[in-house]
């Protein structure tokens, strides 16, 4: 077997003001056992309860479960709230670091992977996190998701043939059904976090069970309760934590949907920490106030609009190119959405290890150049109404969007930008489910989205959005993503096929860069920019509240009382 050490991998809502009664129910600073909430964000008092140091964390609720087999958002919340951990973990540069595993080997055919489980790790209930427990957890994940048809889909990232444990060696061996260039990055994905399933590991028929709200992990915090009435999870310190001191004795995770409510609660001292405030005015106010610490980082999400190649934009290259040249992406990111995005024309964020600087863009912002492209193509305003016609018909682009991560703000700004070159845009601002249905039906010219681009450390799932696949079908549908933009490019497809067949990391990186360049050259996708995740904290109470590049990790042991 060849040693393969860690490689670089390119790798329910509360609307309105929080009440003191709600925080009391959550065990926060308003209760008998806690101190009175600070009157302002600048209070110097530490947040402590009678039982020790306490943190009030206000965040959006994506799930009311922490079971990684339940569905994807539940898996994410387990890692975000510091309850569950995986064999590996992403660093901020998207390289992979050891976690519950401290060494591994892979066979020459890249199908047999043997992982040594770190000695001395215990679950939060005191049970050993042994090789057998790890194998049981992963087997349960695949068993539950296959039999109960849960929405977690681990098989889409990693096709397993078998998962077995060697108790004497304390190793877990995973045999995959096909070769993989690397599975350590895949095992960073929250689906594959390890929980104590308390199954009978000797019987042929395993009784894999785990209650959704009492998941037993290896993280620094333990679920004490979840109250769907007060919209709050109560966490306590994991007394058996293996990786250093746990800074808080208890944490109230308070579910807040509205961004302005998060900001208000932070300013009044009702919460000590929050995530991802996207209201530009609130973010600017908090950033300019020394009472608060704002951490912002470009993550691995891209905001973009699909271009429907089965519609007018796909059928007229000049129109598509002019549209791209008419949009000032830099100003949209810096001003329109208040810096919540970092501008770039490529589909993958510039912070990832894909030689972003080697990419070129021939369709940078140039209004006069956009007008000339249209004029030269005979796309003119013949009737004097201010909008151009094509084949005698007024051009009106149908743009569908929804209010999430500033997407509707981009749509409105793009509507204004295109009107300046004589292109009419009709915006439909709807909910995400309706938008999805309209996208599937092809009822759009532009369709907004925000994707995690490298959820498993590499972008194959994301790049499938533009893969033509079987040319005999109307469009290619797959388990990871769907080419609902009807884009087809033989060179792109050939590169994607080669990428999927390769196990050479350097070759795969080069292929990704080539695919990105094709999408830029074709004006195949209108990239808004790269979403900047944020953490905001009371500077006098909390230290170490820096947001990570990969937004799987929120309540880490780095966040501590000041």
For the stretch 457-497, pLDDT in tens is: 889 889 989 998 754 334 344 434 468 899 999 999 999 99
For the stretch 141-177, pLDDT in tens is: 999 888 876 568 888 789 999 999 999 999 999 999 9
The first and second tokens of residue 451, run together, are 């994707």
Mean pLDDT of 356-368: 96
The first and second tokens of residue 447, run together, are 């369709």
Distance CA(62)–CA(72), nearest Å, equals: 9
Per-residue HEC secondary structure of 485-514 comes to: CCCCCHHHHHHHHHHHHCCCHHHHHHHHHH
* Banded pLDDT at 9 (limits 50, 70, 90): very low
Closest by CA position to 22, among listed 202, 239, 268, 240: 268
The first and second tokens of residue 545, run together, are 């509240």
CATH code of 2-291+539-561, in short, is: 3.40.190.10
SS3 101: strand
Q: Report the first-to-last Cα separation within the chain, whole angstroms.
A: 48
pTM above 0.95, yes or no: no
For the stretch 292-336, pLDDT in tens is: 999 988 778 899 999 999 999 999 999 999 999 999 999 999 999
- Strands 396-401 and 446-452: what pairing? parallel
Closest by CA position to 119, among listed 110, 105, 107, 131: 131
Where are the chain's structural domains? 2-291+539-561, 298-532
Closest by CA position to 320, among listed 366, 368, 374: 374
pLDDT at residue 70 in the model: 86
Distance CA(159)–CA(560), nearest Å, equals: 39
Distance CA(480)–CA(469), nearest Å, equals: 13
SS3 364: coil
**CATH class as words, domain 298-532:** alpha beta
């Amino acid at each position: 077997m060849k040693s393969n050490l860690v490689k670089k991998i390119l790798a329910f809502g509360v609307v309105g003001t929080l009440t003191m009664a709600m925080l009391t129910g959550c065990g926060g600073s308003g209760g008998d056992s806690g101190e009175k909430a600070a009157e302002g964000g600048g209070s110097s008092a530490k947040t402590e309860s009678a039982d020790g140091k306490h943190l009030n964390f206000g965040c959006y609720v994506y799930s009311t479960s922490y079971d990684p087999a339940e569905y994807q958002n539940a898996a994410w919340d387990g890692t975000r709230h510091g309850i569950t951990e995986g064999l590996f973990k992403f660093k901020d540069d998207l390289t992979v670091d050891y976690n519950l595993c401290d060494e591994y080997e892979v066979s020459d055919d890249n199908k047999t992977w043997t992982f040594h489980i770190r000695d001395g790790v215990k679950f939060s209930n005191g049970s050993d996190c042994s090789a057998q427990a790890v194998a049981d957890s992963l087997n349960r994940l695949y068993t539950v998701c296959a039999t109960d048809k849960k929405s977690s889909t681990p098989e889409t990232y990693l096709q397993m043939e078998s998962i077995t444990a060697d108790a004497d060696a304390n190793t877990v061996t995973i045999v995959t059904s096909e070769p993989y260039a690397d599975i350590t990055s895949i095992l960073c994905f929250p689906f594959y976090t390890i929980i104590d399933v308390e199954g009978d590991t000797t019987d042929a028929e395993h009784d894999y069970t785990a209650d959704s709200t009492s998941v037993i992990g290896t993280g620094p915090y333990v679920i004490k309760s979840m109250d769907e009435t007060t919209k709050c999870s109560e966490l306590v310190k994991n007394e058996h934590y293996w990786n250093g001191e746990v800074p808080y004795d208890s944490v109230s995770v308070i579910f807040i949907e509205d961004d302005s409510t998060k900001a208000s609660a932070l300013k009044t001292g009702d919460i000590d920490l929050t995530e991802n405030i996207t209201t530009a005015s609130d973010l600017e106010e908090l950033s300019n106030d020394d009472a608060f610490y704002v951490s912002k980082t470009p993550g691995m999400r891209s905001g973009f609009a699909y271009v429907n190649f089965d519609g007018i934009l796909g059928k007229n290259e000049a129109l598509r190119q002019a549209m791209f040249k008419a949009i000032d992406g830099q100003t949209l990111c810096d001003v329109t959405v208040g810096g919540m995005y970092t501008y770039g024309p490529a589909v993958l964020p510039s912070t990832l290890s894909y030689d972003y600087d080697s990419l070129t863009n021939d369709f940078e912002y140039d209004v006069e150049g956009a007008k000339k492209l249209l004029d030269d193509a005979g796309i003119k305003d013949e009737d004097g109404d201010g909008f151009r016609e094509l084949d005698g018909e007024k051009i009106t682009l149908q743009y569908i969007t929804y209010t999430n991560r500033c997407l509707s703000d981009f749509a409105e700004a793009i509507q204004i930008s295109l009107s300046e070159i004589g292109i009419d845009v009709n915006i439909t601002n709807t909910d995400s489910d309706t938008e999805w249905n309209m996208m599937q039906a092809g009822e759009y010219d532009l369709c907004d989205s925000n994707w995690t681009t490298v959820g498993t450390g590499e972008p194959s799932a994301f790049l499938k959005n533009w893969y033509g696949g079987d040319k005999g079908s109307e469009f290619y549908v797959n388990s990871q993503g769907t080419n609902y933009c009807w884009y087809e490019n033989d060179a792109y497809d050939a590169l994607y096929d080669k990428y999927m067949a390769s196990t050479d990391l350097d070759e795969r990186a080069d292929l990704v860069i080539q695919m990105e360049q094709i999408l830029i050259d074709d004006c195949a996708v209108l990239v808004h920019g790269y979403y900047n995740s944020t953490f905001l904290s009371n500077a006098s109470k909390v230290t170490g509240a820096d947001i990570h590049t990969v937004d799987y990790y929120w309540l880490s042991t780095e966040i501590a009382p000041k």
